[in-house]
Homo-oligomer: A and B are copies of this chain.
Amino acid sequence: MIASASSIQKVTGFNIAAPKGFRAGGVHCGIKHKKLDLGLVVSDLPASAAAVYTTNQIQAAPLFVTKESISKEQKLQALIVNSGNANACTGAQGLADAYEMRSLIAQKLSISEHMAAVASTGVIGELLPMDAVRTGIRTVEAYASLKSSIDFSQSILTTDTVMKNTTYRMALDDKEITISGTAKGSGMIHPNMATMLGFITTDANVEPAALQGALKYAVDRTFNCITVDGDTSTNDMVLILANGCAGNSQLQPQHKEWSTFIEALLLVCGDLGKMIAKDGEGATKLIEAVVTGTEDDEGARKIAKTIVGSPLVKTAVFGCDANWGRVMAAVGYSGVPFNIGSLSICIGPVCVVKDGMPADFSEQDVIDYLKHHEIKIEVNAGNGSGTGTAWGCDLTYDYVQINASYRT
């Protein structure tokens, strides 16, 4: 699905502040005990903005504020994010707090309020400690440096064990264009977009409506194909800012290099999605399910998500148990029609099911393969030309430990 075009190169450097005209930073303001908990991204110019949000009916206050900001002009120039407190289920006071965050950062940067977006992640149902937040907004500064972009990436983490950053560069219209993303999320991760924040910056010039379409397309095939535990959060959003500092002619679907931009966006979102799945709470292994042979792509993705979402598959991968019957059962209850007589399943290089029946294979080969840290499960449903991929992680003792004592 995500093939790397030769003209798109992965690069390292300033992360979220790598595209021209972006700066970032992060501070500790006191929402958490010690770790960085407030982050800022600034674009020197107003950037085309697009976002997708959680499908949970209960949505946190900052989502309302960000939606309102973007709805005005489809442009943003700043993003303020806190971790440690989700500002969800906090009623009128929570909404007032999110508006105040937006107002304070707009004043600080001398921009209109609707040019700023707000995001939060953390515990649900507690009011933000606004004194700490106010201090944080006063002190946080954004720079185009590697250190400050790392500060931002760290300031948005909760139970994550690692930062998630990725950056690609490509030539478009003979201009050098950079696209970079950073994300957080490791629990309550499930389609669609659960306790997950993803922020993408690019110096490409992109028409706002086209940007929204491109983001939705990419998120459906990446962030929405990962699952850690099947829970869906109240706070998720993926936001993209495109400030045009690269100087290319405006991208939209009729542009001859539109597909290159889509490709790069898929690479960024795919990298971040896999990093989130791999860093799932307590996870020791990334599980990738690649499904082919369904009637359409949507069916393939649905089967793939069912496999990586199955607690029994997840525990079997953790325990290096060659229990392919659990994969087969998951395919069966996915709700997607398939032809059992032509179903095949491979775990890594080992074909375990052929024509719907156990294949002749060495169980030890499967056990040995399952000791790797990246596990691939391939299913051919034998029923068409649809394809889809999903990512998840194993289910371990540590997942239980982390979530049995999250707040204590």
Contacts and interface: CB of A to CB of B under 8 A. Distances in A.
Interface string A66-84: 0000000000000000000
Interface in A327-376: 328-333, 337-338, 340, 353, 356-358
Contacts of A107: none
A61 to B, nearest CB: 12
B329 A233 contact: yes
A312 B187 CA distance: 9
Nearest to A318: B404
A13 interface: no
A125 B324 contact: yes
B229 A332 contact: no
A318 B400 contact: yes
Copies of this chain, whole number? 2
A323 interface: yes
A248 interface: no
Interface residues of A, number: 61
Contacts of A309: 230
A319 interface: yes
A38 interface: no
Contacts of A333: 55-57, 194, 231-232
A400 B395 contact: yes
Most B CB contacts (10 A, CB to CB) among A126, A322, A332 go to A332
A91 interface: yes
B229 A329 contact: no
A124 interface: yes
A275 interface: no
Contacts of A357: 89-91
A188 B311 CA distance: 9
Interface string A198-237: 0000000000000000000000000000000111111000
Q: Which 8 A-B pairs have the closest CB atoms?
A: A319-B404, A124-B325, A58-B332, A315-B403, A232-B333, A56-B332, A229-B311, A57-B332
Given A89-B358, A232-B333, A397-B401, 8 more contacts: A58-B328, A90-B358, A229-B311, A230-B309, A231-B333, A311-B399, A315-B400, A396-B400
Interface of A: 55-58, 86, 88-91, 123-126, 187-188, 194, 229-234, 309-312, 315-316, 318-319, 321-326, 328-333, 337-338, 340, 353, 356-358, 395-397, 399-401, 403-408
